Structure formats: C-alpha cells, structure tokens
Amino acid sequence: MNKDLIKKKHQKKIKLYNYYNKKYYNENVSEIADSEFDELKKQIIDEENKYNFLKNKNSPSLNVGFKPSKNFKKVFHKIPMLSLANAFTHEDLLNFEKKILNFLNKKKEELKLKYSAEPKIDGISASLVYKNGKLITGLSRGDGKEGEDITENLKTIKDIPQVISAKDFPNEIDIRGEVFIQNSDFEKLKDKFANPRNAASGSLRQKNSEDTKKIPLKFIAYTFGFEKGMKIQNQSDFLKKLNEWGFKINHLNKLIDGTENLMENYYAIEKIRTDLDFDIDGIVYKINDFKIQNRLGFVANAPRWAIAHKFSANKGVSKIIDIDIQIGRTGALTPVAKVNPVNIGGVVVSNATLHNEDEIKRKDIRVGDTVEIERAGDVIPHITSVNFKKRDKKSIKFIFPLKCPSCGSKTIKEYNLITKKEDAVRRCSSEGFECEKVAIEKIKHFVSKEAFNIDGFGKKIVEKFWKLKLIKLPQDIFKLNYNKIENMDGWGKQSVKNLEYSINLRKNISFERFIYALGIRHIGFENAKLISKNLKSPKKFFNLSKSNNFDELLNLDGIGETQINSIKNFFLNKTNSDVLNDLINILSVKDSIETKKNGPLKNKTFMLTGKLDGISRAEAKSLIEQNSGSIISNVSKKLDYLIIGEKPTKRKIETAKEMNIKILNQKEWLLMLNKTS
Ligand code: AMP
C-alpha cells in the first residue's frame, strides 16, 4: 500500500472513531459495542506506532473524552484528567512493565514493582475539588483539559461527602472517582436508558439537579488531581485514607506484585464479573509508589505508570435474520433471535434468547433489526438493545403466535395466583404428549441427569429416535426394538448392547427421581424429594388420584396450591395416567430411603469441588443428606468441610484455607460415613 493510501485509510478510521466518541460522551449513545470501539482505537494506535508519518492531531492517542457540552459552564482542570492505555494480554502487561523498567533504567531483579489493581468501573469519571474540607466544585472529565461544572448534580449523590473534618484531610485536594449506577437500581430504569452507563451519564448531566436526585447514583473514589499538604507515599495507603475520610472505595482493590499475579487476579475477577452489582470492563493497574509514578510522568494523553487491562468482549453487534419460537416441556413458547454469526469474546454467537413475548414488546424487537448482544459467562446470549437508527423504514412489528407453531393448539397466558398478574410467558395449551415439540422435550427431561440419567441416551438420541418413530412416550424407551437399532447407521452390536444395559439398569429407580422424571409442572427436584420423603411409598403416590387425597400434600413445607393443582391436572390428563400405569408395570420404583435424623454428619455442612471418583455429584449430595449432613453452595463461615475431588477449583481451596475450613479428600469423607469406597 502506498503512503497516501495508508494515510487516507488512517484518517477515515480517526474520523469514524471521533464520530463514535462524540456520540458516546455527548449524546450517551453507543452505536457500536465497547469492544469494537476499543479495537478501532487499538488499530489506530498500532498504525501510528508502525508508520511515523501518521501523526494527526485528532488521533485518540493525543486526546481524551470529548469537548464539554454547551449546556454547562466550562471549567479548566488544574491537572488534566487523562485517559488510560489499554492492555489485552499477558504479553501487553509484560511490555508495560518492561517499558517502565527501561525508563527507570532498572533490571527486573533490582526493582520489584508493586501494583494497585483496581476494577475499572464502567461509569463516568468526576473530579471533586475540596477546599478546607468543603466541596467547592464538581467537574466532569470533558476533554480532559476542560470539564463541565456539574457541582449541583454531584452534590445530590449520597456517597459524595460535602464536608470532611478529618484532621489529615489536605487543605486543598481534587478527589477523583467514578459515578455509576448499580445494576439492581438500573432494573427500574431500563425502559428509559440503554445501559447502566448511559443512565449514569444522562442523570449526571441533567440541567436540573432535582432530576439527578431522583436517580440512585453511586460514587467510588480512586485517585486525586492536584493536592496541597498530603503526606501519603503510595496508592494503596491513599485508597485506605480515602475510606477513612468518608469516601467509598472498591472492595475488590488489591495490592499485587508481578505480572503473573496480576493475571491470576484478572481471571478471578473476570469470573465473578457478572455477579457484581456494577459493570466493570477491566482492571486498572497503577504503580503503587508515588515517587516512581512521579518519575514516570505522562505521555500525551495517559500516565506512563498506569494501564487498563480490558476484559474480553462480552458484547457484540449483529442483525436479526429471523425470530424462531422454541417450545419447552411445559409448553412455554420461547422466542429466539437468529442472528448473523458474530464473534463475542471468542465464541461465535448465532442465537440470542428473547425471553418471552413481553420482552419483545417492551424492547420492540423486530426481524431485520441491528441489535447489541451480550454474552456473560455461561448464560445464554441475550439482546440488550436495538439500534433504532439502523431500522429499515419498511420493518414491521413482530407478532407473537397465538397458535402453537408445533401442534396448532391455542396459546395462552396463565394468571399467576401469587403475583396476581398475567404471566409473561405464553404457552401451548395442550401441555401434554399431544404436542410433538412438548412431547420430545418431556422425554428429554425424562432421561436427564437428575431424572433417569440413562448413560448414552442424551438429547440427540431422543430427537433421532423420535424422528424414526422408535419412541413416542417415555415408556417406549424400555420397549425399544434393539435389532432394528443395531442395523441403523452409526450403531453396532456392542453399542446397542451398552445402550440396552444402561436402560435396563435404570428400571430400578428411586422414588424421588421417578416423580421428578414425570416432568409435572412446578415439581422440580426439590419438590419431588419432599413428596417422596413424605409419602414414602410410590403406591401412595400412584393412588393419589384414586383416593382424591391431594390435600395430604398441603402439609408439606414448599408444596402449595399451585403445586397441588399442577399434580391434579397431571393425573386428569388421560395420556399422563396411561404413561404412569405403563411405567409402573415396567419399572421397580424403590420406596424412599429414610434420612437418618442422627446420622454421623449431623449439624455438619459440606461443599464439594472437583470430580469424585466413581460417584456423581448428585449421589454424593444425597449421601450427605441421608446421613443428616447438609450442603451449602459457597465457601463461607458456615461451612465445616470442603470435599475435594479431581481438578478442584483452586480459589475455593484457597479461600477455605484462609478461613480455616477443614479440607477432606474423598477417602477421608467416606471414612466419616464409615464407608471405605
Ligand atoms: P479511558 O476510559 O480509556 O479513558 O480510561 C480512563 C477512565 O477509566 C477514567 O476516566 C475513569 O472513568 C475510568 N476508571 C474506572 N476505574 C478507575 C480506577 N480505579 N482508576 C482510574 N480510572 C478508572
């Protein structure tokens, strides 16, 4: 490529970047995902590093934020409010550290650098100028040199102290931090704003501070601009002091040395990122020692002593090609958006759940729309917002089907007795084995892990056998024509033998698994356990309808009218009772095992991590419960024992050790039960 062409392309990217930047800072609009924005910035900076002739005064490598809006008085920051350089990989961190050591003319062995690692809250930064302990001015970052005077709005935030009387609070200081809105508070505002950051930015820049006051904004402090009379030597002490002076600080801040440890902390925080009540998009690392910070100074628009380690993208932008309706085992109709495949954080996403009919209506989601998709942890990707500007003029509202797309039955929305509202979910009214899609899902549930757990009989086999008309109802699984299967593609003598063996093995089934497998609405595993424990014998359950003795179940804690009605409806359905009768003849459903009231694990709590040898998680849990122990799901003071198997989660073990919780291997635990294997 020749020089002119490279320059032209580069300028085009800068123009585009500044367009998005203006939208983001001045209009609170994100036209592209944050990750794409970061990628554009990275490309511009990389190109500038590669070609010397690409200097441009509008480049993001020289500028911060965007010009302050005309709606507010403009005020100069005494010390500029800068941006941060970005890092994405461990290699970027190593380079960051290497550059610092080179600058200081030190070798790695000579200077062990310590970093203050602080989660990067995705909010709006603000500068608070205090004189003689009083809040005088509050500014936004603006373009870094000049900010907007938003003092009155900032004063409405409860986390911001207006008077500080601590003796060691400097006479003059500019405290800086992040204004944001908690995700739980955002829930109530999500009709008005696209995301928590927009909500915070929009509310903070209201013309009337009474409007800002209505929004529950929060503030976390993390740095300072100019100061007079402060006697603190490093960032971690400064953070502690901020807290003593009455500011909130991030509870996940940590002092860390070495880039390996930074990486470990990064992964640990990325893991819990979606559980936090505020959005973070990375971790900021700052050289802890103020003396070193001062020596390092700044480049054009960012300090040399800090870097933002960004998390891998969890959002992407794509176009909806179609809206599919999936039907679940309870007849629930779940809309799913089929989107043009988009890479989000290394995973190609082509489906995004739309939850239910109400969600589509609320967000006015239509086929053809350009949308932002979020993929957080293991959760199914979902659509966070629609870009209405990119909507085709001819687009039409999505009409939710009033008839089941599988069987043509009417679809209904039930009235919820507890919330006294109509359900958000629309369902196929057949709700039995009459609807093909529902029936397939019911059989998938029947063979699932906590139900019959038939080895080698997964969801794919259910679909395949259904298509081949080998199964139509759950009991057909026990009447399979194995000769026919043996001659089918992909099957052989041995695999069929294995399948037959696993199916026959499950003809003996526990009472609780059996009830759960029936897939009665509102009877999940816990309720199935409760019923089996109390009715004790399966016969009693089978006879419930005959004796019309459902009220007996009402005494059980956890079983209410909704559950009873659901069980009654189950028995009223002719196919269901046929299925039940057939299954009773084929299977041997065991009476429920009494849990020992005074078993060896009485009053003891357990948690499991890693894979146990020869025993499933579900079975281990049930063994603990049968012996009067109980299970808890996180490492806390309430935990007595952490049982570790193969490949346990390291963090759980470390936390347990820190809390002096006893750690057992499988053998030690079984010994407690007087079992040796
Ligand atoms: P950038 O958004 O790339 O310009 O990065 C700088 C911004 O990161 C600041 O203006 C703050 O809004 C934000 N930020 C969030 N948490 C911190 C923190 N602990 N230290 C410094 N900046 C932070």
Which residue puts its alpha carbon closest to atom 7 of ligand 1? 83
Whether residue 201 is contained in a domain is answered as yes
Of 269, 301, 287, the residue nearest 41 (C-alpha) = 301
Looking at residue 28, what is its pLDDT?
Answer: 65
Give the number of domains in the chain: 5
**Which is the closest atom of ligand 1 to the Cα of 222?**
19
Residue from 116, 128, 284 whose mutation best tests the ligand 1 pocket (most atoms within 8 A of CB): 284
Q: Examine the fold and report which residue of 278, 310, 342 is the final residue of a domain before the chain moves on.
A: 310
Ligand 1 centroid from CA 305, angstroms: 13
Residues 280 and 120: beta-carbon distance below 8 Å: yes
- Amino acid 562: pLDDT: 84
* DSSP annotation of 30: -
Which atom of ligand 1 has the smallest separation from the CA of 84?
5
Report the pLDDT value the prediction gives residue 301, as an integer from 0 to 100.
85
Strand partners of residue 593: none
Residue 677 pLDDT = 47
* Pocket-testing residue among 20, 30, 125, ligand 1, by greatest number of atoms within 8 A of Cβ: 125
Cα 123 to ligand 1 centre (Å): 8
Distance CA 331, CA 445 (A): 13
Contact 342, 317 (CB under 8 A): yes
Which residue has a Cα nearest atom 13 of ligand 1? 120
Q: Which residue has the tokens 């380079």?
A: 95
CA 577 – CA 70 distance, rounded (Å) = 72
Q: What does the buried/exposed string (b/e) look like for 538-558 if buried means 16 or more CB atoms within 10 Å of the residue's CB?
A: bebbbebbeeeebeebeebee
CB 587 within 8 A of CB 507: yes
Residue bearing the CA closest to ligand 1, atom 10: 125
Domain end point (choices 310, 333, 361) = 310
**Judging by DSSP bridges, how do beta strands 146-148 and 74-76 pair with one another?**
antiparallel
The DSSP secondary-structure symbol of 187 reads G
User: Which residue owns the Cα nearest ligand 1 atom 17?
Assistant: 120
Same domain, 176 and 67: yes
Atom of ligand 1 nearest to the CA of 65: 4
For ligand 1, atom 11: residue with the closest CA: 125
Residues 6+ apart with CB under 8 A from 304: 99, 100, 103, 296, 297, 298
Rounded to the nearest 5 percent, the helix, strand and coil shares of the chain are 40, 25, 40
Give distance in angstroms: CA of 164 to centre of ligand 1: 24
486 and 425 in a single domain? The answer is: no
CA angle 81, 307, 26 (to 5 degrees): 40
Domain boundary among 277, 310, 343: 310
| Separation of CA 86 and ligand 1 centre (Å) | 11
> Which ligand 1 atom is nearest residue 81's CA?
10
> Of all protein residues, whose CA lies closest to atom 1 belonging to ligand 1?
83
- Nearest atom in ligand 1 to 122's CA: 15
From the CA of 118, give the closest atom in ligand 1.
19
Based on the domain organization, do 108 and 164 belong to the same domain? yes
For position 392, which CATH number holds?
A: 2.40.50.140
Integer CA distances (angstroms), 111 to 104, 255, 553, 656, in order: 10, 16, 70, 33
User: 602 catalytic, yes or no?
Assistant: no
Q: Which domain holds residue 661?
A: 605-672
Point out the ligand 1 atom lying closest to the alpha carbon of residue 64: 4
Compute the distance from residue 116 Cα to the ligand 1 centre, in Å.
14
Q: CA–CA separation, 332 vs 548, rounded Å?
A: 28
The residue contributing the CA closest to ligand 1 atom 2 is 83
Task: Give pLDDT, residue 615.
Answer: 77
* Distance from residue 286's CA to the centre of ligand 1 (Å): 11
Indicate the pairing of strand 280-287 with strand 172-181.
Answer: unpaired
Whether residue 155 sits in one domain with residue 10: yes
Residue identifier of the C-alpha nearest atom 4 of ligand 1: 83
Q: Tell me the β-bridge partners of 374.
A: 315, 382
Indicate which CATH number applies to the domain containing 106.
3.30.470.30
What single letter denotes the amino acid at residue 224?
F
In a shared domain, residues 333 and 256: no
Instruction: Quote the ligand 1 centre to 112 CA distance (angstroms).
Output: 25
User: Within a domain: residue 269?
Assistant: yes
Asked if 322 contacts 351 with a C-beta cutoff of 8 angstroms, the reply is: no
Catalytic residue among 120, 218, 315, 529: 120
User: Which helix or strand (DSSP H or E) is residue 522 part of?
Assistant: none
Tell which atom from ligand 1 comes closest to the C-alpha of 125.
12
Residues 209 and 108 occupy one common structural domain: yes
Residue 472 CA, ligand 1 centroid: distance in Å: 58
Distances (CA, A) of 334 to 331, 401, 461: 9, 11, 23
Q: If 0-12 CB within 10 Å is exposed, 13-18 middle and 19+ buried, where does residue 634 land? A: exposed
What is the predicted pLDDT for the residue at 249? 97
Give a yes or no: residue 301 inside a domain: yes
Q: Is residue 295 in a domain? A: yes
**Of the candidates 18, 82, 80, 83, which has an alpha carbon nearest to the alpha carbon of residue 44?**
18
One domain for residues 453 and 354: no
d(CA 34, CA 31): 9
Q: Residues enclosing ligand 1, CB less than 6 A?
A: 83-84, 118, 120-121, 125, 141, 178, 222-223, 284, 308
**90 and 53 inside one domain:** yes
Considering the domain boundaries, does residue 542 fall inside one? yes
CB 132 within 8 A of CB 121: no
Residues 475 and 420 reside in one and the same domain: no
List the one residue out of 171, 136, 166 whose CA is nearest residue 154. 136
Which residues in the chain land under pLDDT 50? 677
Same domain, yes or no: 538 and 631: no
Alpha helices in 105-168 (DSSP H): 151-155
Q: How remote is the CA of residue 175 from the centroid of ligand 1, in Å?
A: 13
The pLDDT value recorded for residue 430 is 86
What residue's CA is closest to ligand 1, atom 15? 120
Q: What is the CATH classification number for the domain harbouring 449? A: 1.10.150.20
pLDDT of residue 378: 58
Are 123 and 202 members of one domain? yes
What is the per-residue pLDDT for 422? 87
Domain assignment present for 611: yes
Residue 316's beta-bridge partner residues? 373
- Ligand 1 centre to CA of 544 (Å) is 63
Question: Is residue 378 situated within a structural domain?
Answer: yes
Domain for residue 646, yes or no?
A: yes
pLDDT of residue 68: 64
Q: Where are the alpha helices (DSSP H) in 353-435?
A: 357-363
Q: Which 3 state secondary structure label does DSSP give 199?
A: helix
User: Two tokens at 338?
Assistant: 């089929």
Count of C-beta atoms within a 10 Å radius of residue 299: 12
Report CA 66 to chain centroid distance, whole Å: 31
pTM of the complete model: 0.55
Q: Are residues 18 and 164 in the same domain?
A: yes
CATH number at residue 616: 3.40.50.10190
**Phi, psi at residue 552, to the nearest 5°?**
-55, -30
Top mutation candidate among 24, 84, 122, 242 for ligand 1, by most atoms within 8 Å of CB: 84
Angle between helices 459-467 and 436-446 (to 10 degrees): 140
What is the DSSP pairing of strand 411-416 with strand 421-428?
Answer: antiparallel
